Amino acid sequence: MLSEFELIKNYFVRARQGRAVVGIGDDCAVIAPAAGKQMAISSDMLVEDRHFFAGADARMLGHKSLAVNLSDLAAMGARPLGFTLALALPAADPVWLEAFASGLFALADEFDCELIGGDTTKGPLTICITVFGELAPGQALRRDAALAGDDIWISGALGDARLALAHYWNEHRLSDAALAQAAPRMHAPTPRVALGQALAQGQLARAAIDISDGLAGDLRHILGASGLGATLDADALPAGPVLAQQDSDLRRRFCVAGGDDYELCFTAAPAQRAAVQEAGLRTGTAVTRVGRMETARGLRLVDSAGKALTLKVAGFDHFAS
C-alpha cells in the first residue's frame, strides 16, 4: 500500500519544476509575481456523482479537472502560471493515479501551467484545483464591464456536451458514432486560454464569462453585473457538429441552456468586429456574433427573422436540482 508521501512523490512531483521559488514539499509553495502584473486566482471542485459519474475514465477526469479551472483563467483573460491540487481518494490505486496524472499533466504542459502544491487525503473521490494566472493591470475581462450596444460573441460551438449527457440520462438517444463524437466535449473540454488572453491583451472584449452552466444562465451573470439586458439570436448560436444534426427545437434548447460547454461568452464594441475575428483566426478558435447588449433589462431570444421565442432557459444550479 502506498503511503500518502509516496503517492505524492510517485504521481505528482515532476523532475522539471521551476516556476515556483519553493514548489512541492514545503508547507507552502512560494511564487514570485512578475513585476507590474496582477494575479488571477480561481478554484473549481469536481465531486464524484455530482460532476462526474462514478467509474469515470481517470485520464479524462485529470484533463477535465484542470480544464474547467483553466477555463476560468481564460474567461478573465489571464495567462496560466500554476495550480494546486487537493485530492480526496477512496484508495491509492496506482492504475487510477497513473491515468489521472497523465491526463492532468498533458493539459498542464499544453498550457505551461505547473503543479506547485496541494493536499491529499482519503475520502470520497473529490478533486479541487486552484489555478493561478497573471494579467496586466486593468486588462481583466470582468463580468461587470459590458456596455449597451456591445455585440455578444461565443467561442467554438455549444451543446454537444449537453447532448452526450442527454444520451447518458436516456433523455435523447444518440447513435454510437454520434456519441463517440459528442462525448469528448463533455469529458475533455478545451479551455479557450489563447483566445481569452488575446481578447484581454488587445483590449478587444469588455466583459467575459466561461459557459459552464449553460449560455443563458451564465450570460445572465454578465447582465446582472453590468446592469443591462440582451437579445440573443437563437438561430445564430453555433451548435456543435452533433447537435447541428438534431431538430431545431433541441438545437436551440441545448445551445441556450446546455452545460459543460467551457466556451467563452464575451461582449465587445461593434468597432472591434474585425479585430475579434482576427483574434479568433490567430488563436485557432471560431468566434460567432450571437446578440447584442441592451439597456432594457432581461434576456430576450429571437429567431433568425427577429421573432420572439419563448424557451425555458434556466441555468444549472446545484442547490435547485
Positions touching Mg ion (CB under 5 A) are: 119
- Number of other CB atoms surrounding residue 83 within 10 Å: 27
**Residue 85, binding choice from ligand ADP, Mg ion, none, Cβ under 5 to 8 Å by partner class:** ligand ADP
**Total site size for ligand ADP, rule CB under 6 A:** 13
Q: Residue 25 interacts with ligand ADP (CB under 6 A)?
A: yes
Q: Residue 26 interacts with ligand ADP (CB under 6 A)?
A: yes
Q: Residue 120 CB, nearest distance to Mg ion (Å)?
A: 7
Q: Residue 39 CB, nearest distance to Mg ion (Å)?
A: 22
What is the pairing mode between strands 263-268 and 208-211?
antiparallel
**Residue 118, binding choice from Mg ion, ligand ADP, none, Cβ under 5 to 8 Å by partner class:** ligand ADP
Instruction: Provide DSSP, 12-48.
Output: T--S---SSSB-BTBSS-B--PPTT-EEEEEEEEEEB
The Cα 278–Cα 286 span in angstroms is 10
In terms of CB distance, is 49 or 119 closer to ligand ADP?
Answer: 119
Distances (CA, A) of 23 to 2, 20, 147, 201: 22, 5, 42, 29
Contacts of ligand ADP in 95-124 (CB under 6 A): 115, 117-120
Q: Residue 117 CB, nearest distance to ligand ADP (Å)?
A: 3
Residue 79: exposed, middle, or buried by beta-carbon count in 10 A (0-12, 13-18, 19+)? buried
In terms of CB distance, is 29 or 178 closer to ligand ADP?
Answer: 29
Contacts of ligand ADP in 122-181 (CB under 6 A): none
In terms of CB distance, is 87 or 243 closer to Mg ion?
Answer: 87
46: which residues sit within 8 A by CB, 6+ positions away?
Answer: 52, 61, 64, 65, 68, 126, 127, 128
- Number of other CB atoms surrounding residue 181 within 10 Å: 18
Which of 12, 83, 96, 132 binds ligand ADP (CB under 6 A)? It is: 12
The Cα 78–Cα 111 span in angstroms is 12
In terms of CB distance, is 12 or 254 closer to ligand ADP?
Answer: 12
In 3D space, the residue among 198, 196, 158 whose CA is nearest the CA of residue 282 turns out to be 198
Contacts of ligand ADP in 199-218 (CB under 6 A): none
- Report the interface residues with ligand ADP, using CB under 6 A: 8, 12, 24-27, 85, 87, 115, 117-120
